[in-house]
Structure 1
């Protein structure tokens, strides 16, 4: 109630209290013996250490996956597609995790910063593993079949990879009436020359 009445943050009040204690302690030491006054610096504790540790544990326990095609480009881990936005993940953190663990929730900004420092991303990259690579990883395809791709690249003939990209909506608009009345779904088919890139 005190913090909300004066629109203060927990850290500011904690620092005031800590500095007042230190000043009072210094005055008492000076009064006892002016000759043997030794100032010892204390390491200040983080008043939100418990909350920070709880948030890191929450992020560690989320199921994450490493993407096959993006390993050379990024070291990030990606959350499963249940989470459509950081805000929905934050709401889950507040309502489910904090309430069940009896821990105060941190701010949205601190939540987003922690996701970044822990190298976790919400949105999946556009590139995903192909069925052949997944089958090879599971042991359904032999090494000979995978080596055929390299042989094809080294041959004189052209080699193309063809894929259908994500479904696109046209026209692209956030106006709900236009979106629902005139939506056209487009399958964007792409071809890539593996030899010439």
Structure 2
């Protein structure tokens, strides 16, 4: 059990988010869930989390606990899987909390900008009509 908790402690985490809650009269206010920690979006689901844990156990020559135990301890530690908004990319989220270097982030931004420029050029080219005529003698 100690190795499992150590495994969870080693995973990169995102800061907790603010939730929107309704007061007695329907007035929205922000409540801070500071105790909740979110794993970075590199881990998509608990199956992937268990696979990573099992690989870590194999490397350390430990016996992996069951998936049920992993999920129970995961909930006890008040952890959650982070699902980014549709318009956010994993690299951007990771850079925001300092888990990715500026160099990797800048490469990602350059690649994103190049893709957007190419898309704009393709859209522009699609608007033009080309007409080719052939004359035969």
- Which TM-score applies when normalising by structure 2? 0.49
Higher relative contact order (CA 8 A, sep 6+): 2
**Max radius of gyration: which structure?**
1
- Which TM-score applies when normalising by structure 1? 0.35
